Amino acid sequence: MKANDTKFNVKDKVKLKFKRNNEDFDMNGIIATVTHPFAFGCMKENWVGLWFDEDTKYGENMNVHINDIVKVED
């Protein structure tokens, strides 16, 4: 099942890879599991929800644009 009609499937493992310089830059490299966007964040086209595999100062989940993640190969 695709997450929010993107190229990513629900339950895909991905790595955060922010390409712009902002305060979230320290999150690069964190591994997460893809799901549908959460209602508390952006739910526009090309956004997905992520459950983080580790504790972060941002909580346990968030929505991100697909340009900020790369799939981790199985």
- Domain boundaries defined on the chain: 13-71
The per-residue pLDDT for 15 is 96
Looking at CATH, the fold of the domain delimited by 13-71 is given as SH3 type barrels. (2.30.30)
State residue 74's pLDDT score.
Answer: 63
The pLDDT assigned to 61 comes to: 96
Return the pLDDT at 24.
58
Mean pLDDT of 7-24: 85
pLDDT tens string 19-60:
766 665 788 999 999 999 999 889 999 999 999 999 988 899
Best CA proximity match to 34, nearest among 6, 8, 65: 8
pLDDT, position 19: 76
* pLDDT score, position 73: 80
